[in-house]
Amino acid sequence: MNAVIGYGGIAAFFLVVIGILEATKKKSATFSEYATAGRSFGSWFSAMAFLNTWLPGTGFISFAGFAAGFGVISFYSLVYSLLAVVLMFFLARPVYDWGKRHDLRTQADLLGLRYGSRTVRVVAAVIGIVASFPWVILGMQSLALVFKYLSFGHVGATAAVLLGITVIGVRQIWTARFGMRGIIISDMVQGIVAYVIGTIIMLGLLTWLITNGHGFDKLPASHYSLPGPGSPLGPLYVSSLILTGVLGGWCWPDIFVRLFTANGTATIKRSAVLAAPLMLIFATALTLLAMAATTLPGVDTAPDNVWFITAGIGGVGLVTLAGICVVAATMGNIGANLQALGTQAANDIVGAALDVRITDVRIGRIAVVALTVLAALGAFATVGVGSGLIVLAFISYQGISQLAPTLLLGIFWKRGTAAAAVVAMVSGFVTAIVLQVLYPLSIPWLGGVTSGVAALLVNTAAYFAVTFLMPMSAAERARVERLFSRQSADDATRATAPAPAAATPARTI
């Protein structure tokens, strides 16, 4: 009977989301509308879409487990998240203006325009897809844990993964059909459940823990310390996590495309103001709850299960609600990820390889389906990983942050060249991979910096070196000047301005 309640709750929530999508469906007339939702959504939708992508279901699993296992160091994710929201203000205007004026669909598309290079576009797209894939697997693993817990002992780990893959696979039917418009609309529903109802549950559980002998004074001293001089991780470890988080935050393809779905620059800025306090309250509540629950039986041996172990205090009904919160956050994150990666694969790899501008929505749908299948295989291959999945998140941040110098310097500095961008991204990504293999956590002889930060030093040095050693031609300087000088043009001018040939090939499919 308990399993019927648990699985019934998930089914009911799933049907509500699908019902809303069907009730609000609108077919995308063009590939651009499919990829950017017609650049039509307001600030509340944009804020909730950002949250439902930024705060994935694995936050309830891996990040909560990290807090339960290691304590205050886990607040690093809150710090870099809030700093990333601040960065949204500075990115809003140039990204939205260029995106609307030149019909940009993806992050890689924007970089291809800025540097006037198909090679830059392809390299950025490949790095974005490779680095983002662990997050999709994390999301599917989060669903597996949900189905395992809500079966109340009737479903094993392998069957739970298969159930999670099946559910997200079915959910992707609507992602593929409705594109980014469907993602944004469902994000509002899923966000309310995951971050509003979820926060209420957290505060209630936290109150119960503190009043029933599980206060913060019960935690070991190690939970209140950060790595310092002489520690195995090194004094710069936490700073490295924050730095890669801030710089890598807007390098995620699924996060970046949020800037293209809003209906204006002011909307993006307002959505940041709305998202920041919601994120602060949610992330703080989850971290404190996980820390306070450390003394509950079973948390020490399975910290990734802390959310469900704590929810068990309230019985079957509360565990079911806790599971629905994870599903809500996971569906939003996986859906947005696969939609963005599928669009990027179609637009910036297939389109760039064939030297065409993709206009057929079916190509995007095929790419989304193909990536969903690959992600499902990845989730099944990691079925035996019972805890410590946070490591996948750390690794992916080391890789995605290697787009940061090319992206941020390209947007805010005119002199960077296509050659510099390619050399920087490739050298940084390769360095990050090599150092990650040699030093999985931190690099002792560099004070504890992570592989990503060390690679960023190589990356940024390469960017400046190539830029100054191989400066732009006069023609390229003129093109970039025109691009930046038109950045503040009014809406009418932006709408009628022709896109450069490098960014919009004449042929389309």
- Name the residue with tokens 């310092």: 228
The C-alpha atoms of residue 82 and residue 474 are separated, in whole angstroms, by: 40
41: β partners: 262
Could you tell me where the beta strands, DSSP code E, fall in 12-150? Answer: none
Query: Of 271, 253, 269, which Cα lies nearest the Cα of 90?
Result: 269
Determine the distance from the C-alpha atom of residue 338 to the mean position of all C-alpha atoms in its chain, rounded to a whole number. Answer: 11
What tens digit of pLDDT does each residue of 260-281 get? Answer: 889 889 999 999 999 999 999 9
Plot region of 36 (φ>0 → left; ψ -120 to 50 → alpha; else → beta): alpha
Q: Considering the domain delimited by 2-389, tell me its CATH architecture.
A: Up-down Bundle (1.20)
What tens digit of pLDDT does each residue of 413-425 get? Answer: 999 999 999 999 9
72, two tokens: 């205050």
Inter-CA distances, 307 with 145, 218, 463, Å: 11, 19, 43
Angle between helices 418-438 and 390-400 (to 10 degrees): 150
508: β partners: 357
Coil, helix or strand at residue 503: coil
pLDDT over 90 (residue 157)? no
The C-alpha atoms of residue 239 and residue 449 are separated, in whole angstroms, by: 8
Listed by start position, the domains of the chain span 2-389
- Name the residue with tokens 């960014």: 503
pLDDT over 90 (residue 333)? no
Read off the pLDDT of each residue in 48-55 and give the average, rounded to a whole number. 89
CA angle, 135 as apex, 256 and 197 as ends, to 5°? 85
Highest mean pLDDT among 43-52, 74-83, 209-218, 460-469: 460-469
- Phi, psi (degrees; rounded to nearest 5) at 302: -140, 70
- Phi, psi (degrees; rounded to nearest 5) at 28: -80, 125
- The whole-number pLDDT of residue 113 equals 94
pLDDT over 80 (residue 291)? yes
- Name the residue with tokens 């609000």: 24
- The whole-number pLDDT of residue 134 equals 80
Answer yes or no: are the C-beta atoms of 20 and 331 closer than 8 Å: no
Alpha helix positions (H), 257-389? 258-261, 265-292, 306-311, 315-344, 351-354, 361-381
- The whole-number pLDDT of residue 508 equals 59
The C-alpha atoms of residue 252 and residue 248 are separated, in whole angstroms, by: 7
- The whole-number pLDDT of residue 506 equals 45
Answer yes or no: are the C-beta atoms of 257 and 36 closer than 8 Å: yes
Q: Which of 16-30, 167-181, 219-233, 376-390 has the lowest mean pLDDT?
A: 376-390
Average per-residue pLDDT in the chain?
87
Determine the distance from the C-alpha atom of residue 214 to the mean position of all C-alpha atoms in its chain, rounded to a whole number. Answer: 33
1 exposure class (CB count in 10 Å sphere: 0-12, 13-18, 19+) = exposed
pLDDT over 80 (residue 507)? no
- The whole-number pLDDT of residue 487 equals 63
Read off the pLDDT of each residue in 208-219 and give the average, rounded to a whole number. 89
122, two tokens: 């392809």
pLDDT over 50 (residue 8)? yes
The 3 state secondary structure assigned to 135-164 is HHHHHHHHHHHHHHHHCCCCCCHHHHHHHH
Query: Of 341, 443, 450, 469, which Cα lies nearest the Cα of 402?
Result: 450
pLDDT over 50 (residue 20)? yes
- Phi, psi (degrees; rounded to nearest 5) at 443: -105, 105
Q: What is the CA radius of gyration of the chain?
A: 22
The C-alpha atoms of residue 247 and residue 60 are separated, in whole angstroms, by: 23
**Count of C-beta atoms within a 10 Å radius of residue 24:** 12
58, two tokens: 């694995």
188, two tokens: 């509002």
254, two tokens: 């699924």
Q: Which of 85-99, 372-386, 444-458 has the lowest mean pLDDT?
A: 372-386
Answer yes or no: are the C-beta atoms of 164 and 379 closer than 8 Å: yes
The C-alpha atoms of residue 7 and residue 68 are separated, in whole angstroms, by: 27
Answer yes or no: are the C-beta atoms of 263 and 47 closer than 8 Å: no
